Amino acid sequence: MVVILDRQHYGKPNRNDLGAGVDLDGSGTIDNDEREANLTPLYIEAAKQLLEADNHTVFILDSGWYADRHEKAIEIARAHPDDMCAYIACHLNAGKGDYSVSLYDHRSGGGRKLALSIAASLSDQLTGVERHLTKAASPDLWNNAYNTIKGIYAGPGNLSGVCFEPVFMDTEEHQQYLTHDGLTLIGQCLAEGCMAWGN
C-alpha cells in the first residue's frame, strides 16, 4: 500500500497560511507552534513511522496549491498501479465541536471505505472525543473539505482520498491530544485505519 500524507495549509505559494490557531499555553497570544499546520507534522511523522515499519510506502507533500498536490498524488498512484493508494489531507479542526470527522469525495466508494476505516480506528482509541463521523463532501455540503480532496477523484481507480480532521483544537476535552503523545496516538490511529483499509 502507498499512503500520501499532505500537510495542508502549509506551503501554499505566496501565502503564510498555517490554518487554525489556539492559545494552548494560556500566554495570551497564539504562537507558531500552536497553529494547525505546525501540529499536524507530529501525527504525520507518527503515521509514517508505523506505516513504514509495516512495509508500506509513504510520501509526504507540503508545498504547492492543493490542485498541484492532487496532481502529484495522481502521478504517484499511476506509478504504483498494483498498490492501493490512500491520499490523506491532514488537518486539525476548530469550531468547538465534539467529534472527529473523516470526509470523502461524494463520488468515491473507495474514499468512503477509507474514511470508515479511519473513523473506526479513532473510535477504538480516542477517549474524550464523543463521536467519530464520516461525511460525504461535495460542492454543496462540507465544501471546504471537498476542496482539499476534489482533484483526487480524477486519478486512477487505486487512489482514494480523505480529509482528516481528528480533533477540535478549541475543544477543551480534545486538547489532551494536542501534545506530543496525543498527536503521536492520532498518527498511529490514522496509520492503522489506512492499513485496515489496505488489507
Residues 6+ apart with CB under 8 A from 160: 84, 85, 86, 87, 104, 108, 110, 111, 113, 114, 152
Q: According to the model, what pLDDT value does residue 154 have? A: 97
CATH no. for residue 125?
3.40.630.40
Q: Model-level pTM?
A: 0.97
Q: What is the pLDDT of residues 145-197, one digit of tens each?
A: 999 999 999 999 999 999 999 999 999 999 999 999 999 999 999 999 999 99
Q: According to the model, what pLDDT value does residue 128 have? A: 85
Residue 60's CB is within 10 A of a number of other CB atoms, namely 15
β-pairing verdict for 159-165 and 99-105: antiparallel
Q: Of 102, 120, 96, 118, nearest to 173 (Cα)? A: 96
- Number of domains within the chain: 1
State yes or no: pLDDT of 15 exceeds 80.
no
Q: What is the pLDDT of residues 22-58, one digit of tens each?
A: 999 999 999 999 999 999 999 999 999 999 999 999 9
Phi first, then psi, for residue 22 (nearest 5°) are: -140, 140
Q: What is the pLDDT of residues 76-135, one digit of tens each?
A: 999 999 999 999 999 999 999 999 999 999 999 999 999 999 999 999 999 889 999 999
| Helix/strand number for the chain, H first, E second | 5, 6
Mean pLDDT of the chain: 96
Q: Could you list the residue range(s) of the whole structural domain that residue 57 is in?
A: 2-198
> Which of the four pLDDT bands, split at 50, 70 and 90, describes residue 16?
confident
Q: Of 38, 7, 35, 9, nearest to 22 (Cα)? A: 35
